[in-house]
C-alpha cells in the first residue's frame, strides 16, 4: 500500500463554528484543537497544516468543572528575577474574556512554527457576534 501525501495547495479548508455556552472549557478546547490540526481527516499528517479554520463564540460563558473558577491560577514570567506573575481565572476572565479559551487551545497545539501557524486559523469571541459570516461556517455540535 502506498502512502498518499497531499500537497498544501490541494487541501480544502472549511470553516467551523463552536458555541461554548454552557460547555466545559476543556471539551471545547479539545474539539477546536482537533479541527485546527486536521486529525479527523483521512489525509492527516503530523508535519504540515491540513486542518480547518475554527471560530469559537461565547468563550466567556464556558464553564469549569468543580471549584476551578476560584482556584485555577494562570502564571506568566517576565524573564527577570522575581518576575513571576499570577492571576486567577475570574480576574483574567474579567480583564480579557477570550484569553482562557485561547490559552487552553494553544496549549493543545504543537510547539514551534507549526503550532503558531495553526493558532492563526483560530478566532475566539467572547459573545455570539463574529465577523466571519461571509465564510458560511458549519455549526459543529458535540
Looking at 3.40.640.10, 3.30.70.1060, 3.10.129.10, 3.90.1180.10, the CATH number of the domain 14-63+99-139 comes to 3.90.1180.10
What residues are paired with 84 via a beta bridge? 77
For residue 132, pLDDT over 80 is answered with yes
Cα 86 off chain centre by: 22
Task: Indicate the pairing of strand 73-77 with strand 84-88.
Answer: antiparallel
Among candidate residues 77, 93, 95, 97, the one with its CA nearest the CA of residue 85: 77
For residue 8, pLDDT over 90 is answered with no
Cα atoms in the 13 Å half-sphere on the side-chain side of 77: 4
Confidence of residue 109 (pLDDT cuts 50, 70, 90): very high
The confidence score (pLDDT) of residue 135 equals: 96
Confidence of residue 60 (pLDDT cuts 50, 70, 90): very high
The average pLDDT across 112-125 equals: 98
pTM score of the predicted model:
0.93
Domain chopping of the chain, boundaries:
14-63+99-139
For residue 131, pLDDT over 90 is answered with yes
Q: What is the mean pLDDT of the chain?
A: 95
For every residue of 39-86, DSSP letters joined together read TTSTT--TTS----EEEEE-GGG-B-STTHHHH-EEEEE-SSTT-EEE
For residue 4, pLDDT over 80 is answered with no
Amino acid at each position: 500500500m502506498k502512502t498518499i501525501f497531499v500537497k498544501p495547495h490541494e487541501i480544502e479548508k472549511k470553516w467551523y463554528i463552536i458555541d461554548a455556552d454552557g460547555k466545559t472549557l476543556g471539551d471545547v478546547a479539545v474539539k477546536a484543537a482537533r479541527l485546527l490540526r486536521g486529525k479527523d481527516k483521512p489525509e492527516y499528517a503530523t508535519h504540515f497544516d491540513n486542518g480547518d479554520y475554527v471560530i469559537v463564540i461565547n468563550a466567556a460563558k464556558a464553564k469549569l468543572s468543580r471549584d476551578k473558577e476560584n482556584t485555577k491560577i494562570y502564571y506568566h514570567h517576565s524573564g527577570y528575577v522575581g518576575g513571576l506573575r499570577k492571576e486567577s481565572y475570574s480576574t483574567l476572565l474579567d480583564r480579557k474574556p477570550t484569553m482562557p479559551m485561547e490559552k487552553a487551545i494553544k496549549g493543545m497545539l504543537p510547539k514551534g512554527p507549526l503550532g503558531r501557524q495553526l493558532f492563526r486559523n483560530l478566532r475566539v469571541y467572547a459573545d455570539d457576534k463574529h465577523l466571519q459570516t461571509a465564510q458560511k461556517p458549519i455549526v459543529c455540535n458535540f
